[in-house]
Chains A and B, each alone.
Chain A
Amino acid sequence: MVSDEITKMVVLADSSPILPSELALRAYELSTDAIVKETCFGLIVTGSEKEVNETIKELRRLDPSGIFVKDRGFPPGDSRRCRAVRGGGPRPGFHQLERESCILPSISYGLETIDEPLDAKGREKREKLKIGRFIEIIDEQSKEDVNG
């Protein structure tokens, strides 16, 4: 393994409009020397520190608040983590990643609205739906369902 080689995981929030395949396509378009592995949650990028950081900086532009990055100790395909070698099952760290992935849409929302007022007074008041209007909506929907 080259001494200055690093690996980073790029994880997409569920709320992001970008798909892992689109991220991978963009990474290939950049034509850096970093190796890119597409995964269900995003990408794993391996290469020299400069190449990896450059690739990730460009990828972040696709969705700045929906793309999250963390370091990875093992390179992709390492036999101590490879599921093909170890007989399947989740890799160590999967459950944590899964749990944090559930929170990512909220974190994205937090990043996008970070400067909006937190207290109730500063926020816009949303009008509540009146019961009469609610009944109208139900009736309209029922008619649509009956008519097909």
Chain B
Amino acid sequence: MVKILVYPSNSLILSDLVARFGHEPLTLMRVIRQKIKEVGIDSPPINVTPEDPKKGLKYAAVDVPSGVRGRMALLDPLIEESEAAIIVHEADYSFGCMGCARTNELAKYIIRNKDIPRLELAYPTCDDEARDFVRKIRDFCESLTRKAEALT
């Protein structure tokens, strides 16, 4: 089972398809769950600690909008653990202020620079495109399975 980072990182369709084809999707929801379950001085409701912007500094300088560093701090564990990635371009809902837009671009840039198998595609707009979309994801997942089996 390969850990596949999906982008947008909270996509229902991508995380379901990756799990359906036998791999583990790395999603933002996992990180959020860890944050709210942690018990300690920094327990909920204060989940964001001064450590988070520091983690974000690994990816972006202090003069970058703070939203970018905060979001990269959440994406950091997913990027570190990922063994493959699926990126969907121009998702309709991937818009926002400069923090979100720059985070999206930075995250995709970092994933592309990482030496891992990657699939890039667009959301389907009709049934035929959806079939092609699902098939590409299935073929990608099967190729990762074969690669993992060859290594073991």
Contact = CB atoms under 8 A, between A and B. Distances in A.
Given A72-B29, A110-B133, A103 B16 contact: no
Given A95-B93, A100-B13, A71 B27 contact: yes
Contact of B124 (A11, A78, A103, A113): A103
A31 B34 CA distance: 28
Contact of A110 (B11, B12, B127): B127
Contact of B92 (A7, A11, A78, A99): A99
B135 interface: yes
A103 B123 contact: yes
A51 to B, nearest CB: 16
Contacts of B15: 69-71
B32 A107 contact: no
Contact of A69 (B8, B19, B36, B132): B19
Interface string A33-76: 00000000000000000000000000000000000111111100
Contacts of A99: 92-93
Interface SS, B side: helix
B10 A114 contact: no
B93 A70 contact: no
Contacts of B135: 110, 114, 118
Contacts of B36: 1, 73-74, 78, 80
Contacts of A97: 12
B146 interface: no
Contacts of A87: none
Given A68-B12, A70-B15, A106 B127 contact: yes
18 contacts: A3-B37, A68-B13, A70-B11, A70-B27, A72-B33, A73-B29, A73-B32, A74-B32, A100-B13, A103-B123, A107-B133, A109-B127, A110-B127, A110-B134, A113-B131, A114-B138, A116-B131, A118-B132
